[in-house]
Amino acid sequence: MRYMLTYDIMESMRVTNQWMGSTARAMCSYPQLGLYANPWIKMTAAWGEVAERSFARMAIKPDWGIHSIPADDGRDHTVTVEPVRELPFGDLIRFNVHGRAPTGRKVLLVAPMSGHYATLLRSTVLSLLPDCDVYVTDWHNARDIPVSAGKFDIEDYTLYLVDFLRVMGPDTHVIAVCQPAPLALAATAYLAEEDPEAQPRSLTLIGGPINPDAAATDVTDFGRRVTMGQLERMVIQRVGFKYAGAGRSVYPGLQQLSSFMAMNAEKHATAFAEQIMRVAKGEAGDHDKHNKFYDEYLAVMDMTAEFYLSTVERIFKGLEIAENRFSVAGKMVDIGKITTVAVKTVEGGKDDISAPGQCVAALDLCTGLPAHLKASYLEPEAGHYGIFAGKSWRNRIRPLVLDFIDAHSEGAKPTVRAVK
């Protein structure tokens, strides 16, 4: 029960800071205070506005905010997000572009379960929609899933991907971003033996830790320094009474966020100080660059304890994927069994999360795959975020990925729409 108490204490601190920001903004925004030529009044109100918004976003799942896209017929087509397969820990959703003919490219975008919602890939989805029929794995916040729903670890995650691929059919092209790359590879290998007809046509792995030992980063170094017992004691808590998942063991989103922020503390501190100044000067906007980024970045979700711990123990410490020793439900998954699915890896030269070498290791594991079905690309100047959502993605990586999809599918458009 003490872990439920600490979970509630963290939530109480978040709510308190949100209240303090709201109070400062309200009290320092009274018209009468305009009679005093004191810049600290405006600065305090600006601090309050930024603080209130920031702490409020930590408990809110962002909306996709994709309502329409232009098409080749010159019209804007409305877009709705529709569930295709609903399961306790995550849904398969489709972005249905109404009134548009099928594009010939059916893409499953596998979102990471690493502290943020699938909406972190909003810009990725938006860039793919004009040319693809897009499906996304929409993972749920563990705090909202009752204990009665059972466990969810990396084996369950893999089986969810297998289930989604069976639902979508064999003409699917998978794009896995970051954390799910090794599990997407495992799911494809699992289908190669269990249900070959349900395998996707292609698999694109972007910045994923297939072999974490191939290139050291702060993430991999942390995994080596800390024992599993220490990790469990430090980060695992039980969901408090406020949520439907009360009592479930989780790695809390708020605790994950503190780790994210600590990795680039100076950069984030500067960004917030500059935003406070912009608000005080009246130069900030509700959807300016700062708010657009941090509204998403600060929105965090809890992960089930078993998923987080099994990821660290089996992917990073045990290297089960890297050494082709991964098993699902007691069955060994042999990545060498992949013989017909085209596999492409994408890495960023300045990626400090999954450094170059970690992802391309997947190609060496695909021992049964002919050379003409393997491809890799390194974007020299791109960081982790840039390889799936930044300029590098839009200008260079996305066209290459779509060309790769076209080369291994039937009926796709031969041209790629430019994305600005």
- CA-to-CA distance for 270 and 247, rounded, in angstroms? 37
Is residue 186 a contact partner of residue 333, using CB atoms and an 8 Å limit?
yes
392, amino acid identity: S
- CA-to-CA distance for 64 and 118, rounded, in angstroms? 9
The distance in angstroms from the start CA to the end CA of the chain is 51
Four-residue CA torsion sign, 260, 180, 117, 398? positive
- CA-to-CA distance for 271 and 376, rounded, in angstroms? 35
Is residue 57 a contact partner of residue 295, using CB atoms and an 8 Å limit?
yes
Specify which residues 68 forms β-bridges with.
78
Q: Which residues contact 31 (CB under 8 A, 6 or more apart)?
A: none
- DSSP track, 122-184: HHHHHHHTTTSEEEEEEEPPGGGS-GGG----HHHHHHHHHHHHHHH-TTEEEEEESTTHHHH
- The pTM of the full predicted model, rounded to 2 decimals, is 0.90
Specify which residues 206 forms β-bridges with.
177, 346
Rounded alpha-carbon distances, angstroms, from residue 227 to 129, 222, 320, 358: 43, 10, 17, 22
CB atoms within 10 A of CB 161: 25
Retrieve residue 401's tokens: 């990925």
Return residue ranges of the chain for CATH 3.40.50.1820.
68-220+303-407
Tens-binned pLDDT, residue by residue, of the chain (420 aa): 456 778 888 899 999 999 999 999 999 888 877 777 788 889 999 999 999 999 999 988 999 999 999 877 778 899 999 999 999 999 999 999 998 888 889 999 999 998 899 999 999 999 999 999 999 999 999 999 999 999 999 999 999 999 999 999 989 999 999 999 999 999 999 999 999 999 999 999 999 999 998 887 777 776 677 888 888 888 899 998 889 999 999 999 998 888 888 877 899 999 999 999 999 988 988 888 899 889 888 999 999 999 999 999 999 999 999 999 999 999 999 999 999 999 999 999 988 888 899 999 999 999 999 999 999 999 998 988 889 988 899 999 999 999 999 999 875 444 444 444
Q: Are strands 172-177 and 374-379 parallel, antiparallel or unpaired?
A: unpaired
Q: How is domain 68-220+303-407 classified at the architecture level of CATH?
A: 3-Layer(aba) Sandwich (3.40)
CB-based burial of residue 266 (10 Å sphere; 0-12 exposed, 13-18 middle, 19+ buried)? exposed
